[in-house]
Amino acid sequence: MNFKEKIRVVMDFPEPGIRFKDITTLLKDGEAFQAAINQLAGSFKDQQIDLVVGPEARGFAVGAPVAYALGAGFIPVRKPGKLPAETIRHQYSLEYGHDALEVHKDAILPGQRVLIVDDLLATGGTTLATIALIEELGGEVAGITFMIELSYLQGRERLAGYNVVSLVSY
Ligand code: 5GP
Q: Which atom of ligand 1 is nearest to the CA of 58?
A: 12
Nearest CA to ligand 1 atom 5: 122
pLDDT for the residue numbered 93? 86
pLDDT for the residue numbered 96? 79
Query: Sign of the CA dihedral 152, 2, 167, 60?
Result: positive
- Answer yes or no: is pLDDT of 165 > 90: yes
- Please tell me the distance between residue 158's alpha carbon and the centre of ligand 1 in angstroms: 15
Q: Which of 19, 95, 102, 136 is catalytic?
A: 95
- Please tell me the distance between residue 80's alpha carbon and the centre of ligand 1 in angstroms: 18
Element (H, E) at 51: strand 51-55
- Please tell me the distance between residue 11's alpha carbon and the centre of ligand 1 in angstroms: 15
Sorted by sequence, the CB contacts under 8 Å of residue 92 that are 6+ apart come out as 98, 99, 100, 101, 125, 126, 128, 129
- Answer yes or no: is pLDDT of 163 > 80: yes
Instruction: Tell me what the mean pLDDT of segment 5-9 comes to.
Output: 98
Pocket test for ligand 1, best of 98, 126, 156 (most atoms within 8 A of CB): 126
Nearest CA to ligand 1 atom 15: 122
Q: Which of 58, 89, 113, 158 is catalytic?
A: 58
- Our answer to whether residue 19 is catalytic in this structure is no
Report the DSSP beta bridge partners of residue 144: 116, 164
- Our answer to whether residue 8 is catalytic in this structure is no
Residue among 58, 54, 18 at smallest CA distance from 127: 54
pLDDT for the residue numbered 23? 98
- Please tell me the distance between residue 79's alpha carbon and the centre of ligand 1 in angstroms: 14
Domains and CATH numbers, the chain: 45-169 (3.40.50.2020)
Burial class (CB in 10 A: 0-12, 13-18, 19+), 98: exposed
Tens digits of per-residue pLDDT, 18-66?
999 999 999 999 999 999 999 999 999 999 999 999 999 999 999 999 9
Tens digits of per-residue pLDDT, 71-128?
999 999 999 999 999 999 999 888 778 999 999 999 999 999 999 999 999 999 999 9
Residue among 147, 74, 148, 159 at smallest CA distance from 115: 74
pLDDT for the residue numbered 97? 85
